[in-house]
Amino acid sequence: MIIAHDAAARLDPTGAVAPQLYRLLREAIIQGEMEPGTRISESEIATRYAVSRQPVREAFIKLAEDGLLEVRPQRGTFVCKISVDSVMDARFVREAIEADIVKALAADPDAALVRDLMAQIEEQRVVAGRDSVAFIRLDERFHRTLAEGAGRSHAWRVVEGQKVQMDRVRHLATRRFPMAALVEQHGAIVHAIGRGDIAGAEQAMRLHLRAILTDLPEVVRDLPNFFEAARTPGRLY
Amino acid sequence: MIIAHDAAARLDPTGAVAPQLYRLLREAIIQGEMEPGTRISESEIATRYAVSRQPVREAFIKLAEDGLLEVRPQRGTFVCKISVDSVMDARFVREAIEADIVKALAADPDAALVRDLMAQIEEQRVVAGRDSVAFIRLDERFHRTLAEGAGRSHAWRVVEGQKVQMDRVRHLATRRFPMAALVEQHGAIVHAIGRGDIAGAEQAMRLHLRAILTDLPEVVRDLPNFFEAARTPGRLY
DNA sequence: TACACCATACTTCCATACTAGTCTACAGGC
DNA sequence: GCCTGTAGACTAGTATGGAAGTATGGTGTA
């Protein structure tokens, strides 16, 4: 386990413990610091962070809702393997929402927002291909800016919940995924918004969100035991 | 409080308590049995259902995530007033997802599914205008059938989470909302799917989901203290 | 060797006890 | 009358112990 032994130091003793644990563990799982399939227990985490089992339990429940942990009563709690189905399910929801967001933005373009987005793309270009973690962070900011620019903070929170499944794959792929191409796709989205091209913006976003997962089959092949055995034999995608 | 005093009888002692409490309370809030703004406490519910505070607490946390309760530490827990903003936020997300679902269905129409949906519409016609609770239940089934017909069970769960905000309004409006019109809109959606009219199906669904809330301003006017004071003075919708 | 049985050491889930923060009502000083 | 301070009754959050269920390793019996 990569987590520091003085992990308790990361906790702010003034605030509530349970949400802090949730965020810490969530981050650890998404970034792959806890391998899929790993077995953990309430008491183990509790002692590691020097808190009682109860807040740990609450964090576990939330992580289970996010599809990151599987709690099996009286048996144990496990870090979920990544399910290709879940990833595609998440992408579907995310695509639907973000497509409508950029449609709304293109219907009423805001010059200041477009400038902001273009500046962000420049930042992305700098780290593309060099620092995948930084890129993922910038990418997240870009998409959040779009949502909030459209006045859709709530929709963004929903997207955020879906995104975790996709982000796990990206952290596994690390520098495999084509950041430069993704940056160009960001540019296409913003340009379409800027010129008020509703259909174009929508199409650009949909293509972009599908491109994110082009390397998925490759990742599954290289790291098969990080993934669940497929549950659907038939076609779905 | 309308809940029976022997409420504990509703709990299945063999299964886990927390999720059962969650479902019970969720139902009670959505159906308006617990008035918006009402203050409740963990211990109050715990004694009412003859369980300890802990599972109640876990149910409260989930309900808070659903936007149905507001937990204020050391202060108390309150049934959320309905926020018009939240309702519109939920509608946006729901519309985006369900629009993509019917587009997928229309792109590859399934005769058996269309027959099933048409039969459901007949059932809806029977109760329309007479039994709003039954209608809401049938309506839920209709939309779920669409989602699952497209192989999008996960997307439906997301919609389900959003729907609660809209359903609260409907239960307040009871027989005010125009069920007959909604049934006809269901028909328009299914017909568009049946003839493979992708754009038509999408448009029909979007119009339908907006029509659901036509009576919202009226409800707000008639029952103002069930609603939160608007948080945004500017235009957003 | 192979299999049934059982003790033991886990696990989650629930109940109970305790801590710390917040609100309310009332007493006392001005 | 009006403000301030404080005691007490709340609240949610956390800690801890126990109950019920499950996996595991060893033992006895063929």
Q: Does the C-beta of A232 come within 7 A of strand C?
A: no
Q: How far is CA B167 from the centre of its chain?
A: 4
B140: left (phi over 0), alpha (psi -120 to 50) or beta: alpha
Taking the CB of residue A23, how many other CB atoms lie within 10 A of it? 12
A189-212 mean pLDDT: 97
Cβ-Cβ contacts under 8 Å, A100 against chain B: 92, 95-96, 99
Give domain status of residue B235, yes or no. no
Is residue B155 less than 8 Å (CB to CB) from chain A?
yes
Name the nt closest to B16 by C-alpha to C1': C13
Final residue of a structural domain among B79, B96, B122:
B79
Tell me the DSSP string of B18-59: HHHHHHHHHHHHHTTSS-TT-EE-HHHHHHHHT--HHHHHHH
A137-162: pLDDT as tens digits: 999 999 999 999 999 999 999 999 99
Query: Are residues B92 and B169 located together in one domain of the fold?
Result: yes
What residues of chain B score a pLDDT lower than 50?
Answer: 1-5, 233-237
**Chain mean pLDDT for chain A:** 91
Instruction: Categorize the per-residue pLDDT at A237 as very low, low, confident or very high, splitting at 50, 70 and 90.
Output: very low
Final residue of a structural domain among B79, B101, B118:
B79
Query: Are residues B51 and B116 located together in one domain of the fold?
Result: no
Query: Are residues B69 and B119 located together in one domain of the fold?
Result: no
Q: Of A77-86, A202-211, B5-14, which range is least confident?
A: B5-14
Q: Are A137 and A232 in contact (CB under 8 A)?
A: no
Phi, psi of A27 (to 5 degrees): -60, -45
B19: domain range? 7-79
Pairwise pLDDT comparison (A176 vs A64), residue with the higher score:
A64
Taking the CB of residue A230, how many other CB atoms lie within 10 A of it? 11
- Judge: A58–B58 Cβ closer than 8 Å, yes or no: yes
Give domain status of residue A203, yes or no. yes
Q: Are B96 and A99 in contact (CB under 8 A)?
A: yes
The protein residue nearest D20 (Cα–C1') is: A74
Whether the pLDDT of residue A2 is over 70: the answer is: no
Query: Are residues B151 and B120 located together in one domain of the fold?
Result: yes
Give domain status of residue A229, yes or no. no
Whether the pLDDT of residue A61 is over 80: the answer is: yes
Give domain status of residue A230, yes or no. no
Query: Are residues A30 and A121 located together in one domain of the fold?
Result: no
CA A74 to C1' C2, whole Å: 30
A49-69 mean pLDDT: 95
Residues near chain D strand, CB within 7 A: A 16-18, 51-55, 58, 74-75; B 40-44, 53-54, 57, 60, 71-77
Give domain status of residue B191, yes or no. yes
Query: Are residues B62 and B144 located together in one domain of the fold?
Result: no
Instruction: Categorize the per-residue pLDDT at A1 as very low, low, confident or very high, splitting at 50, 70 and 90.
Output: very low
Whether the pLDDT of residue A13 is over 70: the answer is: yes
Query: Are residues A125 and A200 located together in one domain of the fold?
Result: yes
Residue A13 host element (H or E) = none
Q: Which residue of B has its CA nearest to A74?
A: B16
Is residue B93 less than 8 Å (CB to CB) from chain A?
yes
Q: Which residue of B has its CA nearest to A148?
A: B236
Cβ-Cβ contacts under 8 Å, B58 against chain A: 58, 61
A26-37 mean pLDDT: 94
Name the nt closest to B21 by C-alpha to C1': C14
Closest CB to A58 among B61, B92, B154: B61
In the prediction, which pLDDT does A173 show?
85
Q: Which residue of A has its CA nearest to B161?
A: A158
Query: Are residues A118 and A18 located together in one domain of the fold?
Result: no
Query: Are residues B157 and B170 located together in one domain of the fold?
Result: yes
CA atoms of B185 and B40, how far apart (whole Å): 39
- Judge: B95–A100 Cβ closer than 8 Å, yes or no: yes
In the prediction, which pLDDT does B147 show?
98
In the prediction, which pLDDT does A42 show?
93
Q: How many domains, chain A?
A: 2
Query: Are residues A132 and A201 located together in one domain of the fold?
Result: yes
Query: Are residues B88 and B162 located together in one domain of the fold?
Result: yes
Query: Are residues A58 and A96 located together in one domain of the fold?
Result: no
pLDDT exceeding 70 applies to what percent of chain A?
92
CA A138 to C1' C21, whole Å: 39
A69-74 mean pLDDT: 94
